[in-house]
A and B are shown apart, each in its own frame.
Chain A
């Protein structure tokens, strides 16, 4: 029998969350976090992620985040312990009169746990994310990432920062390239050189246009992230394309700022839902993977330590 020629499939991303629903979640989170003097934080985070993932849909089926406050609370405690030990060592060294070494140890320590935090948070968050019950997964190797991370840091230092562009793109390629969606694989194609040129252009044009170009710069960055993404399954693929224009970004950013400023921050929920809607409305998927054929392949992983270490370090999830 002859295989059918893979036909073009229809894909539709969307975000269905309403600002007022999220507002309720944020306010209740706020209240409980204050009442519990901050201990509720991991649960608040779980509720937020559950909402944001749960309202994002692909072909009208929602993604889901299954992480729980309890898992993240354990991670939170472990992360706290890591930082307590680091600060303890610094304190002890300072007390013994080696303040310089103490601070150095602290910074090196924080630096050393960064790749571990990236690895841990991706591993945890991906394994707790599903679509139609099919788990995502992260298959990166911890030791390999640590080695690469420090190699890239070294290059960045000896090139006085110029390599940071390659650093970011290599890291993204590594991390995204190790994301699985059931039996499909994610891929990222960005290159440090292109990214650097794009940013140099964006920087200078923004200065020459007194900031106006910054919206188009933002558009190009978004485009560079999205357009280099793809999903592969066997010999089939889905390509991601950004449809956002610079003018679209003006609308998004200016209104978001006004929403925050004129509501004393209470408009934050609408800013988040608008932004999510904006992102998913402006990502177009084209390809020939039949989503119905995706299969469960990834394991269930429950350690949330990395997730919280990255929170403490204030690192954005998507590197």
Chain B
């Protein structure tokens, strides 16, 4: 059984095309043709590599001194070659997978994307957070040291008021395992933050807005809860593992994808932080109650922060968003938790010192 077609042959030594007549023996899968130098070439189909370029089938044969090429445009002849290869199981799993069609590839692509998404949303934060346990607490201190020297360099640390603030905190039980250190900064910023090493920085701007010491207790309780749960470190590990995962996946895609991925990661980390805020709210509330301080101070504090925040930063961009939901949750807690409030004149006195 022989089939014949015209083809173009390149001998791998020169780029000059040679017109040849190829004969395919469909019994043993041999292509035979005569070159311009009158040599007879016999190519075994099983030894060739195949590539479709447009409507042309291109066969390549690795020869000791180079690569010889045979081009076939006759589609019936090309089909006969494909038929022989199929019947003789010369088509590997890879080629089969490529030939399985656009629909299959699309489904496969969506499944992979889905798996990547699920891993990113569920597995990576978990791994990131668990990896915190592997990081020694001493690293928290090192990191905070760098942060303090970088960020508080130009701030006006009030040492007298910091002493008062420390005395204030000493009157409280903050559930801390780690020694807490309080710094009071004279600056008109309505904020406070906690560093992993137990340093809690409070700005005069937020204290000036407060009416009663119970609000300051709520604030310190909230920040202490952040420290107690190593929230900053967890956040860092989550962000870092998320970032590593995304760059590993998109590594060889391209710049646009990497940028999108980056933004997705930072949005995701904002909702991480919200989750941590809620935890700190809950535990901060417990601290307030434990110290027999009026928990309504926490509500007042939130309202003040909310008034302050409303006009400036859209909620989804803020890392300390005071949402209606947080206020509602706290109000619920105030109602449902039995509490015993005792006025504390010492706290009241220290609070007044801080105010001016």
Contact A30 B15 (CB under 8 A): no
Contacts of A274 in B (CB 8 A): none
State A8–B296 Cα separation when bound (angstroms). 90
State A55–B56 Cα separation when bound (angstroms). 11
- Report which of B13, B17, B51, B250 forms a contact with A54, defined as CB distance below 8 A: B51
* Contact status of A55 and B256, CB under 8 A, knowing A182-B15, A291-B15: no
Contact A266 B51 (CB under 8 A): no
Minimal beta-carbon separation of B252 from chain A (angstroms) = 8
Contact B253 A268 (CB under 8 A): yes
Contact A133 B113 (CB under 8 A): no
Contacts of A315 in B (CB 8 A): none
Minimal beta-carbon separation of A64 from chain B (angstroms) = 7
Asked if A296 is at the interface (CB within 8 A of a chain B CB), the reply is yes
> What 1/0 mask marks residues of chain A from 276 to 319 whose CB sits below 8 Å from any chain B CB?
00000000000000011111100010000000000000000000
User: Number of contact residues on B: which range applies?
Assistant: 35 or more
- Report which of A27, A131, A182 forms a contact with B108, defined as CB distance below 8 A: A27
Q: Which among B21-29, B60-68, B309-317 touches the partner chain?
A: B60-68
Minimal beta-carbon separation of B7 from chain A (angstroms) = 13
- Report which of A16, A28, A61, A134 forms a contact with B97, defined as CB distance below 8 A: A28
Asked if A57 is at the interface (CB within 8 A of a chain B CB), the reply is yes
Contact A130 B53 (CB under 8 A): no
Name the residue of chain B whose CB is nearest to the CB of A21: B98
Contacts of B56 in A (CB 8 A): 60
Asked if B109 is at the interface (CB within 8 A of a chain A CB), the reply is yes
State A221–B66 Cα separation when bound (angstroms). 36
- Report which of A20, A133, A265 forms a contact with B10, defined as CB distance below 8 A: A133
- Report which of A20, A28, A31, A131 forms a contact with B15, defined as CB distance below 8 A: A131
Contact A294 B14 (CB under 8 A): yes
Contact B109 A133 (CB under 8 A): no
Name the residue of chain A whose CB is nearest to the CB of B52: A21
Contacts of B65 in A (CB 8 A): 296
- Report which of B15, B60, B250 forms a contact with A294, defined as CB distance below 8 A: B15
Contact A62 B66 (CB under 8 A): no
Residue picked from B65, B66, B105, B260, most chain A C-beta under 10 Å: B105
Asked if A34 is at the interface (CB within 8 A of a chain B CB), the reply is yes
Asked if B338 is at the interface (CB within 8 A of a chain A CB), the reply is no
Asked if B69 is at the interface (CB within 8 A of a chain A CB), the reply is yes
Asked if B279 is at the interface (CB within 8 A of a chain A CB), the reply is no
Contact B112 A30 (CB under 8 A): yes
- Report which of B14, B53, B100, B110 forms a contact with A293, defined as CB distance below 8 A: B14
Contact A296 B253 (CB under 8 A): no
Contact B105 A27 (CB under 8 A): yes
State A24–B105 Cα separation when bound (angstroms). 6
Contact B66 A133 (CB under 8 A): yes
Contacts of A34 in B (CB 8 A): 112
Contacts of B71 in A (CB 8 A): 61
State A50–B94 Cα separation when bound (angstroms). 14
Contact A30 B98 (CB under 8 A): no
Contacts of B199 in A (CB 8 A): none
Contact B53 A295 (CB under 8 A): no
Asked if B54 is at the interface (CB within 8 A of a chain A CB), the reply is yes
Contacts of A261 in B (CB 8 A): 256, 260
Asked if B145 is at the interface (CB within 8 A of a chain A CB), the reply is no
Minimal beta-carbon separation of B267 from chain A (angstroms) = 15
Contacts of A264 in B (CB 8 A): 113
Name the residue of chain A whose CB is nearest to the CB of B58: A62
* Contact status of A64 and B60, CB under 8 A, knowing A30-B112, A55-B53, A266-B109: yes
Give chain A interface residues in 127-143, CB to chain B under 8 Å: 130-135
Contact B112 A134 (CB under 8 A): no
Contacts of B106 in A (CB 8 A): 23, 266
* Contact status of A292 and B17, CB under 8 A, knowing A28-B97, A260-B257: yes
State A133–B60 Cα separation when bound (angstroms). 9
* Contact status of A265 and B257, CB under 8 A, knowing A24-B102, A27-B105, A62-B58: yes
Name the residue of chain A whose CB is nearest to the CB of B100: A24
> What 1/0 mask marks residues of chain B from 54 to 96 whose CB sits below 8 Å from any chain A CB?
1010101010011111010000000000000000000000100
Residue picked from B13, B53, B260, most chain A C-beta under 10 Å: B53
Asked if B1 is at the interface (CB within 8 A of a chain A CB), the reply is no
> What 1/0 mask marks residues of chain B from 175 to 215 whose CB sits below 8 Å from any chain A CB?
00000000000000000000000000000000000000000
Taking A28-B108, A133-B13, A260-B256 as known contacts, 12 extra A-B pairs with beta carbons closer than 8 A to each other, sorted by chain A number, are: A21-B98, A27-B105, A66-B67, A132-B10, A132-B17, A133-B10, A133-B11, A261-B260, A266-B109, A268-B254, A292-B14, A300-B66
* Residues of A bordering B, CB below 8 Å: 16, 20-21, 23-25, 27-28, 30-31, 34, 50, 54-55, 57, 60-62, 64, 66, 130-135, 182, 257, 260-261, 264-266, 268, 271, 291-296, 300
Query: Can you give 25 contacting A-B residue pairs, CB < 8 Å?
Result: A16-B53, A16-B54, A20-B105, A23-B102, A24-B97, A24-B102, A27-B105, A27-B108, A28-B108, A30-B109, A31-B112, A55-B53, A60-B54, A61-B71, A66-B62, A66-B67, A132-B17, A133-B13, A133-B69, A134-B14, A260-B257, A260-B260, A261-B256, A265-B250, A296-B65
